């Protein structure tokens, strides 16, 4: 079974803007490891959403979702949250999930050396040079045309964020039934 990719250009990437500087660019396109990807210049809050049509993945198969990324001089991008779900995504649902710590999975984007003992998932370097962090699992139970959602966010609006390069989200078939 093969992986399914949602490339950065197909992700819904939102951010909390700094409205004090009009015309400021929050993302730039850059060449990294042979691929043109978006690089985060500076934002206050960050949200990345991937939507996958269930018809694009194999029926009755569990997939693990990984954010594939890298960091270049990152600022305040150590910890974020992630969740996967099968229901229709709305702004209200996202805000409800963000405000509830029960459904969140904490993810750590750096190598974990400075956050020993913190509960959550840690990133790792891939053989292709990129980093990855597990965001959660999705399961195509019905094989219909429903949409599966993967959401990643960092919402500490008191700190600016920068230095994140996003390749995309990779869905890999899991061995678990």
- We report the CATH number of the domain holding residue 154 as 2.60.120.260
Q: Which domain holds residue 162?
A: 4-173
Residue range 84-129, pLDDT digits in tens? 766 666 667 666 766 665 545 677 776 555 555 566 778 899 999 9
Q: How many structural domains comprise the chain?
A: 1
C-alpha–C-alpha distance, residues 128 and 48, integer Å: 22
| Residue-wise burial string across 3-34, b where 16 or more C-beta atoms lie within 10 A, e elsewhere | ebebebeebebebeeeeeeeeeebbeeeebee
pLDDT in tens, 31-71: 999 999 999 888 877 888 888 888 888 888 888 999 999 98
What pLDDT band is residue 23 in, cutting at 50, 70 and 90? very low
pTM, rounded to two decimals: 0.83
């Amino acid at each position: 079974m093969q992986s399914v990719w949602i490339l950065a250009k197909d992700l819904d990437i939102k951010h909390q803007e700094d409205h004090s500087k009009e015309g400021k660019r929050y993302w730039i396109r850059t060449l990294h490891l042979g691929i043109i990807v978006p690089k985060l210049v500076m934002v206050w809050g960050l949200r990345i959403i991937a939507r996958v049509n269930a018809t694009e993945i194999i029926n009755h198969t569990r997939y693990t979702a990984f954010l594939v990324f890298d960091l270049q001089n990152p600022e305040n991008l150590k910890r974020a949250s992630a969740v996967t779900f099968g229901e229709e995504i709305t702004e209200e649902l996202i805000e409800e999930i963000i405000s509830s710590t029960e459904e969140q999975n904490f993810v750590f984007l750096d190598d974990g050396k400075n956050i020993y003992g913190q509960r959550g998932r840690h990133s790792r370097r891939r053989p292709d040079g990129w980093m990855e962090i597990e965001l959660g699992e999705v399961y195509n139970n019905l094989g219909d045309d429903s949409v599966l959602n993967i959401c990643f966010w960092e919402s500490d609006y008191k700190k600016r964020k920068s230095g994140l390069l996003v390749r995309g989200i990779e869905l890999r078939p899991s061995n678990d039934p």
